[in-house]
Structure 1
Amino acid sequence: MQNLVTVFGGSGFVGAQAVRQLAKAGWRIRVAVRNPAAAYAMRLHGDVGQIDIVQANVRNEPSLRRALSGATAAVNLAGVLRETGRQDFQAIHVGGARNVAAAARAERVGRVVQMSALGADLHSESKYARTKAEGEAAVREIYPDAVVVRPSIVFGPEDDFFNRFAAMAQISPVLPLIGGGHTRFQPVFVGDVGKALARMVALPEAAGQTYELGGPAVFTFRQLMELMLAEIDKRRFLAPIPWPLARLIGAAGDLAGVLIEPPVTSDQVELLKADNVVGGAYPGLADLGITPTTLEAVLPSYLYRYRKGGQYADQEDRELAGVGV
């Protein structure tokens, strides 16, 4: 079918934005997810009949072939931030990426876009970063002209970064600064990533490119925590955690992760040892005609719910001050 793109992991945080932008660009979209019943709302991102939801698992080749049948492009966003059961880094980031590319080749799909991560490195001590790089290589073995996307931490209403630490600040008087909080990040808005993915699917010059996506500013981890706390109007002690102690906390998180979602894992501690910023050797948002959105423009739109009074916090402050009453 002409103008049909299959998006794996399309119901996730980044996937929803990619699907919305692809729909605006006029694509017909097949959202491939493990549990279609949980992704029914995705159809609302496009016109009637424009978006279809199908079942697929990146570990199951027949399901991938069905999801890719007739597609002209494929976007693979499947990934995990921590390992749980069969959803481990090797199976999803490497095996899953290879399986999608192989199935796409078998179905004669013209364009493959593979989501990776800034900091992907075959020699990294972090298994997450290492398997992301291995996944890139696996896809490029099958599709030399595949497009690889490496974003920094992605922020937005459903992100797993600012929401996690803002929720932690609700109950804890102390927030940890792993390694002292010196690691640098270049947060990129999820809406900008969605736009970038939609453009990569169609641009002929994107073939074979690796894109590094970062926002307009670089922050240390400490600065990001300070920005978040100012936005939710809370004072918390920021405690520097040296690397040896951080490794112990990460190991405890690995054990706790069997039952609950830990605040940090040992692999995430390793990941935090390296800066997560655009290096300049690869094209980025500007090369796709996208002006990056600032943190300050977006954080108030969703972190307000962690403030006392929520969306009415400013009004309460004015009333307490006797202004406009």
Structure 2
Amino acid sequence: MPSNIDTLVTVFGGSGFVGRHVVRALAKRDYRIRVAVRRPELAGHLQPLGRVGQIHAVQANLRYPASVEAAMRDSHAAINLVGILAEGRAQSFDAVQGAGAGAVATAARAAGARMVHVSAIGADEHSASRYARSKAAGEKAVLGAVPAATILRPSVVFGPEDQFSNRFAALARVSPFLPLIGGGMTKMQPVYVGDVATAVADAVDGKTKEGAVYELGGPEVLTMREIMEIILSVIERKRMFLSLPFGLAKLQALALQFAPGPLKLTPDQVALLRSDNVVSQPAKAAGLTLEGLGITPDSLEAIAPQYLWRFRKMGQFQKKSA
């Protein structure tokens, strides 16, 4: 089997939640990895994921194309994982997820590199959500620069250090109730971060179809209420559910967008919850899914106990009955 030791892959946003799993997956396949981040001095946690000298962090900011071009120098493949859940100052959805994605693809084209772009299910230029519109703009910019690029659209991603299951578990630890926006009927297909990382590595290997858009979802379609129930079961806590109509939730989000930690909620996130976040039938029919790549996805119920135990009253230890 040929080695990938001479193949350099530049991973933009490789120090984040999804990024560290992608870096680990690439390191296991012997790729040389250049991690392009805004703060390389804060990416030291990636070094133990590979061999000495295999992983190297450099500075790059998607809002500055020159830094992106420098990070892509001599690279054979580019992976764009950069994304934000809320806007802040210059870090706007359009600048980061729209124009920023295009900057990476343009640099990849100039370097003659393979391009893999991680977007999101729900990317839609006509969406009421600025997040979803910027994701669609990013996909369009990537395919415009590199028509052979692979686009991966995961549903909501869960795993250690995520901002999804950990967020609701943290909220359950301090609040007597959990909010169900829109009654908690929005459907999602939570996908394990390890499965997403495997799909990204497969795309770098050349196992995906050129110019195709893959939709990555877990083995189950769940409503938000069902997801909350699974999280509560894992952390062994009982909480009441509070149903919030979308209109009222949007009003509350006007204030909660400035709140810290798990209390933060933006009007744009409320808009996102108006639409289901699941793998489409056309993607299934075309084999543009995890299963189509030969990956058997893991479920939230199977993986969550491995990291959400810290939100239990007794932590990882079980209370013994008399």
TM-score for both structures, normalised by structure 1: 0.94
Q: CA separation in 2, counterparts of 1:248 and 1:262?
A: 14
* 5+ residue gaps, structure 1: none
Q: Does 1:17 align with 2:21?
A: yes
Deviations 1:206-251 (A, max 9, x none): 3211110000001100011111111111111101101111110122
Q: For residue 300 of structure 2, what is the aligned residue in structure 1?
A: 295
Q: CA separation in 1, counterparts of 2:31 and 2:134?
A: 31
The answer to whether the Cα contact below 8 Å between 2:121 and 2:154 also exists between their aligned partners in 1 is: yes
Secondary structure of 2:161 counterpart: coil
* 5+ residue gaps, structure 2: none
Q: CA separation in 1, counterparts of 2:170 and 2:262?
A: 13
Q: For residue 116 of structure 1, what is the aligned residue in structure 2?
A: 119
Q: For residue 47 of structure 1, what is the aligned residue in structure 2?
A: 51
Shift of 1:31: 0.6
Q: CA separation in 2, counterparts of 1:141 and 1:279?
A: 23
After superposing on structure 2, the runs of 4+ consecutive aligned residues of structure 1 that deviate more than 3 Å are: 259-262
Shift of 1:182: 0.2
Secondary structure of 2:298 counterpart: coil
Q: Does 1:271 align with 2:275?
A: no
Q: Does 1:286 align with 2:287?
A: no
Counterparts of 1:126-205 in structure 2 under 5 Å? 126-203=129-206, 205=208
Distance 1:260-1:45 versus aligned 2 partners, 3 A rule: closer
Secondary structure of 1:117 counterpart: coil
- Count how many residue pairs are aligned between Structure 1 and Structure 2: 314
Distance 1:277-1:226 versus aligned 2 partners, 3 A rule: same
The answer to whether the Cα contact below 8 Å between 1:2 and 1:72 also exists between their aligned partners in 2 is: no
Deviations 1:158-208 (A, max 9, x none): 110111111111111011000000000100000000111000111254321
Q: Among all aligned residue pairs of Structure 1 and Structure 2, give the percentage whose two residues are the same amino acid.
A: 51
Letter of the aligned partner of 1:44 in structure 2?
P
Shift of 1:51: 0.9
Shift of 1:107: 2.2
Q: For residue 95 of structure 1, what is the aligned residue in structure 2?
A: 99
The answer to whether the Cα contact below 8 Å between 2:171 and 2:263 also exists between their aligned partners in 1 is: no
Please report the RMSD computed on the Cα atoms of aligned residues, expressed in angstroms. 1.4
The answer to whether the Cα contact below 8 Å between 2:208 and 2:293 also exists between their aligned partners in 1 is: no
Counterparts of 1:228-243 in structure 2 under 5 Å? 228-243=231-246
The answer to whether the Cα contact below 8 Å between 2:150 and 2:208 also exists between their aligned partners in 1 is: no
Shift of 1:293: 0.6
Shift of 1:262: 4.7
Secondary structure of 1:180 counterpart: helix
The answer to whether the Cα contact below 8 Å between 1:93 and 1:132 also exists between their aligned partners in 2 is: yes
The answer to whether the Cα contact below 8 Å between 2:156 and 2:190 also exists between their aligned partners in 1 is: yes
Letter of the aligned partner of 1:288 in structure 2?
L
Q: Does 1:60 align with 2:64?
A: yes
Distance 1:68-1:216 versus aligned 2 partners, 3 A rule: same
